[in-house]
Amino acid sequence: MAAIESRSLGRGRISVPVVGLGTWQRLEAAAAAGRHRELVDTAIAAGVRLVDTSPMYGDAERLLAEALDGRRDEVVIADKIWTPSAQEGVAQLARAVDWYGGRVDLMQIHNLVAWPTHLPMLEDARARGLVGLIGATHHSAGAFPELAELMATGRIDTVQVPYNPLQREVEQTILPLAEDLGLGVLLMRPLGEGRLVRREPSPAELAPLRPFGVTTWVQALLRWGLSDPRVSVSLAATAHPDRVRANAAAGSPPWFGPEERALVERLATAR
């Protein structure tokens, strides 16, 4: 299997393989089947390094810490602060630092909740070595003007936003601004929360993508996002170890050009 390409995650300070692992709902699902350790082990074996989680994702942060047992240093932890309360923000950071061996590599402000409150706290934590990079996330295009305002302060290193063939609002402002400012971009919902993969195009429809090493629709969707060089890492989420392996296989060049991306967009629209 070809190695996953690595890209810079925010101002060139950390480089990560372009396929990451999301944990929203799926890590708990893996744990319910007794497979969360196997899921994380398989991800690491497949070359995945960045794992994204949040206090919003139920028990996912704790399950991730449990699954990493002894392998913490092999991954880049992207966690979040998600609360309107300053005090609870401090407590969430303390819990995460405790779970992940004394530091969180990337701490993001989830959905921009109370960012003016949490940002100085995170900057202080970064100065104390508890946090590596600072980022912000939002899932809704309606919040992108506020996200752009925060990006322009120069105080964050990464953004996390949705980007797939049916959700392309980030192309208007967020991706160009991230490129100008040298910010890392974590791509959420690469498979449209699973909606995009429910109906597969036929092998004949996918045939033009075969010279790119792409034989499945999931790989086509993941390669579509990663073929935009402004994207640093794609956070596909799955509860199944075999799917983690398949997703990781989409993280190597050759990348799509405009024609292949347009084909994936047409096929996605037709689903």
Instruction: Catalog residues that contact ligand NAP under the rule CB under 6 A.
Output: 22-24, 26, 52, 110-111, 137, 139, 160, 188-194, 197, 218, 235-240, 243, 246-247
Spatial separation of the C-alpha atoms in residues 122 and 133, rounded to whole Å: 9
Q: How far is the CB of 191 from ligand NAP (least distance, A)?
A: 3
Compute the least distance from the CB of residue 53 to ligand NAP, in Å: 7
Beta strand 15-17 with 6-8 is antiparallel
Q: Tell me the DSSP string of 81-113.
A: E--S-HHHHHHHHHHHHHHTTT-EEEEEEGGGT
For residues 152 and 166, which CB has a smaller minimum distance to ligand NAP in the complex? 166
Our CB check for ligand NAP shows the closer of 194 and 208 to be 194
**SS3 readout for 186-204:** EEECCCHHHHHHCCCCCHH
What residue number has its CB nearest to ligand NAP?
22
**Residue nearer to ligand NAP on the CB measure, 64 or 128:** 64
Residue 194 Cβ, how far from ligand NAP at the closest point, in Å? 3
What whole-number distance in Å separates Cα of residue 113 and Cα of residue 248?
Answer: 31
CB of 154 to ligand NAP, least distance (A): 22
Closer CB to ligand NAP, 59 or 128, in the complex: 59
Distances in Å between the Cα of 40 and the Cα atoms of 62, 76, 116, 131, 225 are: 13, 12, 34, 22, 23
Confirm if 101 and 124 have CB atoms less than 8 A apart. Answer: no
Q: Which is nearer to ligand NAP, 128 or 198 (by Cβ)?
A: 198
Q: How far is the CB of 97 from ligand NAP (least distance, A)?
A: 19
